[in-house]
Amino acid sequence: MLVTLKSILNMAEEKEYAIGAFNAPNLESLLAVVQAAEDLKLPVIIQHAQAHEDLIPLSVIGPIMLRTAEQASVPVCVHLDHGSSLEVISQSLSLGFTSVMYDGSALPYEENLRNTLIAVEMASETGASVEAELGVIGKKETGLEDIPEDGETAHIYTDPDQAKVFVRETGIDALACAFGTVHGIYSRKPKLRFEIVEGVRKAAGNIPVVMHGGSGLSRDEYRQAIRAGVRKINYFTYMNKTGGEACIDYINQSSDHSAPIFFTQLSIKAKNAMNEHIKQIMKIFALLD
């Protein structure tokens, strides 16, 4: 069933766990995520990142995401991830997305605030939820960029006092915070500052905090983040990597190396591998493992 981000985060708040938010830049990823949620009977968030427009346009994958969510047996939020353009925010809402993220974190604070207010006003017309971001999280959600050797320089950490004002003035439903995670593959152990999450929650009226760059952490790190107040965890890179590795394994294990390899075979292998991986991750987020 199709639901808003606000309603799905209320479920997370009530049970004091986190909801997985998974990017779906192709049909295999989308089906793997929703099937995992249905298998576990857990709510889930499916996302289209603006940065993935070169993989598949929002105009193509958006309606498919919405139809899949509507037919699902569990609550599913359809969310725009890292929307840095108000035009893309508008497009998502017109398609029927139930949540959007306006990402103005790289802009000056006042400009981020102004644009977030516009996004909130736009979303209010359709009843959709809004996520925004304060602070700068290392790397982009494509996961392909390098980060500096000094992990500290990859971030501008979220200021809880600034978050208090930002949340109060914008009325957003969730806040993405920079507290030490990065998008993509970790080349070194991250320095996670859970006290930032706790500070934002305390200052900003227990606003649900979103963890971006959620792939690649340990079970204990996820649990610490959830205890601190993280209620949405974005996850894609290691799910995507799992699908790729399944394809490589299938090719390498083929007994007849002269036989053709069909994309449809690889597609099924990738989807099934991602599905199993996602289920393991969702169990951790929901405190079931």
Are the C-beta atoms of residues 31 and 71 closer than 8 Å to each other?
no
Residue 96, C-beta contacts closer than 8 angstroms, at least 6 positions apart: 2, 62, 66, 78, 126
Beta carbons of 277 and 216 less than 8 angstroms apart = no
159 catalytically annotated:
no
Looking at residue 227, the DSSP 8-state letter turns out to be H
Provide the β-strand partners of residue 209: 175, 230
Burial letters 100-118, b for 16+ CB under 10 A, else e: bbbbbbeeeeeebbebbbe
Q: Which of 39, 81, 159, 256 is catalytic?
A: 81
Which residues share a beta bridge with 115?
Answer: none
Tokens of 201: 């929650």
Residues designated as active site: 81
